[in-house]
Structure 1
Amino acid sequence: MSVVHTTRLLIADDDPDQLAALATFFGHHRFDIRTASNAAEAFIIYCGWLPHVAIFDIEMPGGGGRGLSRAIREYAAQPQPFLIALSGLSSLSEPSRSLDAGFDRHFTKPAQLPVLLAEIAFRKGG
């Protein structure tokens, strides 16, 4: 599966093991990656870098992933990034809450990384 090699990917998660696993996996697929361990740091990186895709944990310090998604949508930089929620929360209402907050897709942890990659490749047309 091919993904455009210049795809900028921002990953934010307060779990260092999860963050490292995501960064390693997508790094092997030749993404240009930046990481953050909280929502405030992720927003600063987003504003200065404008990634094509972002994967955000829902529950993390600094406003959480949903607050971060709303802030990015309000920032209104063009083109808008493809936002993926990645959450340990598993209630049936979680996906709709993420979509309402501006995410394009919602996955429950532990997400299958090849499925995330396929979703991004489909979105990028690659």
Structure 2
Amino acid sequence: MNEFSVSTPSARRVLVIDDDRDVADSLAMLLDVLGCDVRTAYSGAVGVSLVADFQPRIVFLDIGMPEMNGYETARRIRNEPAGRQAQLIAVTGWGQELDKKRTREAGFDRHLVKPADIDILEEILAASGDESPRI
């Protein structure tokens, strides 16, 4: 960090992983407006590779992706040293109790149903340094 860098709680590193580019880009733009340093990946494999380099504090992750779904992506992120401390947030169209149980088992901290409510996103960002209840 140089003398001109400022670190504030709102300037969190956030990674968005979603195979739907429009959804990923829209969420990334919103998070950018909310003061986050955001990176976007359009596949689970690319997202896992970004975790080590970018070291995000929060990862918003789609579940229903081809090739490597969100559950497997979450497990792989949790196996990365930088992924153990990240807060994993499922952002999915699936919202049944069984879906929430599966996200919990895969290592997610929260489960949001699309479209994500901006108030909940702001709550997650505000509490990202605090312990928060799981799912």
> What TM-score does the superposition give when structure 2 sets the normalisation length?
0.83
CA RMSD of aligned residues (A): 1.7
Secondary structure, aligned partner of 1:116? helix
Paired residue secondary structure (1:48): helix
Equivalent pair of 2:16/2:24 in contact (CA under 8 Å): yes
For residue 96 of structure 2, the aligned residue among 76, 87, 91 is: 91
Counterpart residue number, 1:75: 80
Name the CA distance, whole Å, in 1 between partners of 2:118 and 2:67.
Answer: 25
Task: Tell me how far 1:63 sits from its aligned partner.
Answer: 1.1
Task: Tell me what 1:17 maps to.
Answer: 22
Aligned counterparts, 1:1-126, within 5 A:
4-77=9-82, 80-125=85-130
Unaligned runs of 5+ in 1: none
Change (3 A) 1:62 1:44: farther
Deviates more, 1:59-68 or 1:26-35: 59-68
- Distance in 2 separating the partners of 1:10 and 1:29: 14
Give the unaligned 5+ runs of structure 2. Answer: 1-7, 131-135
The letter of the residue matching 2:94 is L
Deviation at 1:74, TM superposition (A): 1.5
Q: Is the 8 A contact 2:89 2:109 kept in 1?
A: yes
Aligned residues: 123
Q: Which has the larger radius of gyration?
A: 2
Counterparts in 2 of 1:54 and 1:78: CA distance versus 1, 3 Å: closer
Aligned-pair identity in percent equals: 33
